[in-house]
Structure 1
Amino acid sequence: MKPVLVLQHMDTDGPGYLATWLREQGRPFAVFNSAAGQDFPASMNGFGALAVLGGEMSVNDELPSLRRAEALIRQSMARDLPVIGHCLGGQLMATALGARVAESPAPEIGWQRAAVHAHAQAREWFGEVDAVTVFHWHYEAFDLPREAVSLAGSAACPHQAFAIGRHLAMQFHVEVDEGKLALWSASRDPEFLQLQQSCPTVQSGEAMRAMAGRCLAAQQALAARLYARWLDDAG
């Protein structure tokens, strides 16, 4: 069984629940953290799947690590190695495939609801549900690449997730666990603090923590479903 390659862009944005789930499945994985000075691998040789995490930078920033991530996404998809992207990771999947990433109609921070589209591919990923409540932290959003199918959306972000076959891009953070939630909800970022006062899709840290009691376990059950679908039959 080949390991999953996990690309990390920030010290505060590790694999979280994704790592927990992979360990529970007995699936080996290797994390490369560009913020810690680790260069991402030049190729997918030796890896069986690719997971791309989030980050506070824009996908449009001229960072060599972002361009390397895009190259690994394209290489993985060409080889039919499953790819999954979380927030920035989903945006990198979009740009790697030629789609635009730009300012979202509204920023989303905290627990937000997304409507699941009523078609077969959306049901395959999300199950028989009309909507999900998932954790967000983004100011930008992706357009759909060619051949991509939109799976979910909201007024604040029309495309919350898309799939191309076995590959899944998400605008949200299903990998959030208790540790990441505690760290992120304590943020004193000035833009975040200001938006709490004016934007209904931006929650305070206190509100995030209050909702975690009823939202986090349900999101992790969803994450387990998404991860299982992503890695189904992966080598």
Structure 2
Amino acid sequence: MKHVLAIRHVPFEDLGTFECMFDEWGYRVEYVDAPTSELSGLDVLGPDLLAVLGGPIGAYEEDNYPFLISELALIKQRLASKRALLGICLGAQMIARAGGARVFAGPTKEIGWGPVALTGAGACSALAPLARGAPVLHWHGDTFDLPTGAVCLASTAAYTQQAFSIGTQVLGLQFHLEACATELESWLVGHAVELAHAGISLQSLRANIPSSDIPRLVLQTWIASVVFD
């Protein structure tokens, strides 16, 4: 049975709809909670896929969150192995930093449902189903430069780097394609202070949840492109 290891930073930001797909496709999903787990001995080379998930902290805040040092070291190991690696939001930023890129505060908070603009490379990638403007969930205030060997796949007006790939094995998504409508209320509670500070309407977030098969198409296409050992 193929094995997905997911590094999680807060309980409600999990694999979302992706987890149901992995279950359906016969993958065993295992979570490791980065803030409270012993990361130094974690085997990140054995799983078929390593997923690094989102969270409300910065990839550069190791002074406040020392576990990030161990986590970055693990991601560097996985990158060097050239095995399948998926990063979502903070996870994508952590991959970028592990790949030698700068991660830093963005120009504004970008929170809510909206489209991304695909680059030429993005239009030929697993993200192609997003080309017609399908909305995804944006929930970030940081951005990053592209890591070594990466190709930008998508952008928005406020954030140039919205998705990137490194070969066929690494996919980084700044946005939350995995966001699950049934779990959105946990996000609204968990990020209540941030949402209030940013003046984001909870009603708008609830009302604009898209219904489509695009997350499935994207994940399925990317997984099909990955070379598993």
TM-score by length of 2: 0.87
Q: Unaligned stretches of 5+ in structure 1?
A: 197-202
Q: Partner amino acid for 2:112?
A: G
Partner of residue 53, structure 1 = 53
1:217 aligns with 2:212: yes
Query: 1:74–1:97: 8 Å Cα contact kept in structure 2?
Result: yes
Instruction: Give 1:200's aligned residue.
Output: none
Following TM superposition, the consecutive aligned residue runs of length 4 or more in structure 1 with deviations greater than 4 angstroms are none
The equivalent residue for 1:172 is: 175
Give the aligned residue type for 1:171: Q
Q: Map 1:91-102; keep pairs closer than 5 Å.
A: 91-102=93-104
Match of 1:193 in 2: 196
Q: 1:206 to 1:59 in 2, by over 3 A?
A: same
Give secondary structure in 1 for the equivalent of 2:26. coil
Q: TM-score, normalised by structure 1?
A: 0.85
Cα distance change of structure 1 residues 86 and 234 upon mapping to structure 2, 3 Å threshold: same
CA deviation profile, 1:85-134 (whole Å, cap 9, x unmatched): 00000000011011111111221112122101123x54222126254421
Relative distance call for 1:18 and 1:8 in structure 2 (3 A) is same
Identity of aligned residues (%): 32
Gaps of 5+ in 2: none
Q: In the aligned structure 1, how far is the partner of 2:34 from the partner of 2:105?
A: 24
Q: Tell me the C-alpha RMSD between the 2 structures.
A: 2.2
How many corresponding residue pairs?
Answer: 224
Determine the structure 2 residue equivalent to 1:34. 34
| Residues 153 and 159, structure 1, Cα contact 8 Å, conserved in 2 | yes
Cα separation, 2, equivalents of 1:136 and 1:226 = 22
1:92-131 correspondence runs (5 A)? 92-119=94-121, 122-127=123-128, 129=131, 131=133
SS at match of 2:114: strand
- 1:28 aligned counterpart, secondary structure: strand
Structure 1 87/222 Cα, relative in aligned 2: closer, same or farther at 3 Å? farther
- Shift in CA distance, 125/45, structure 1 to aligned 2, threshold 3 Å: closer
Q: Is the 8 A contact 1:115 1:132 kept in 2?
A: no
TM superposition shift of 1:29: 2.3
**Which amino acid is the alignment partner of residue 138 of structure 2?**
H
How far, CA to CA, are the matches of 1:144 and 1:216 in structure 2?
A: 31
